[in-house]
Amino acid sequence: MVVAALSLLCACSSADPDEVVAESPSTSGAPTSGAPSSRPPFQTAPTGPVRTSPQPSTSIQQPPADLLRAIEDDLRRRGLDPAGLVVVESAPVSWPNGALGCPEPGRMYTQAIEQGWRVIVQLDGRSHDYRSGNSGRPVLCTRGGGAVPSNPHS
């Protein structure tokens, strides 16, 4: 048994005992012998939503009722009457991080995929872009970048 294990170890070792195996920063830790990697360079995640399946950008899927109620509540807190609210775009989204595609300068976010929704509603001729993540809490995203808290007085 010991002889079989030793012969297996010897068979797995390099033919050249002086060969140096280097770590390449472009290959996520895979050993190389100095030859250039055929892998593409590392790229960061996109800043917008990551769609899990192809969907047109104007898809309208009914958002969860609790999310819609939370959006209506947020509009009331902002002094608007949600009675004439119209959902113009709504779709489930996989956000690449906790910024939900709407980062605020100087703020840090979780770097993990967040399952949530993007819901664009129209009220009194104005569009309001709401996003939600794992928490289910809607966040109003302004076009200039950056999110507006659900309760602007807190």
**Parent domain of 126:** 65-148
Residue 99: what are its φ and ψ, rounded to 5°? -75, -15
In a domain, 18, yes or no: no
Instruction: Determine how β-strand 147-148 pairs with β-strand 139-141.
Output: antiparallel
In a domain, 7, yes or no: no
In this prediction, residue 41 has a pLDDT band, given cuts at 50, 70 and 90, of low
Number of domains in the chain: 1
Q: What is the pLDDT of residue 16?
A: 44
> pTM for this structure?
0.58
CA distance linking residue 106 with residue 99, whole number of Å: 12
Q: What is the pLDDT of residue 142?
A: 85
CA distance linking residue 90 with residue 63, whole number of Å: 6
Region 124-141: what's the mean pLDDT? 93
pLDDT at 146 over 50: yes
Per the CB < 8 A criterion, the answer to whether 148 and 141 are in contact is yes
Angle, vertex CA 105, rays to CA 103 and CA 143, nearest 5: 50
pLDDT digits (tens, 9 = 90+) for 45-64: 455 554 444 344 456 889 99
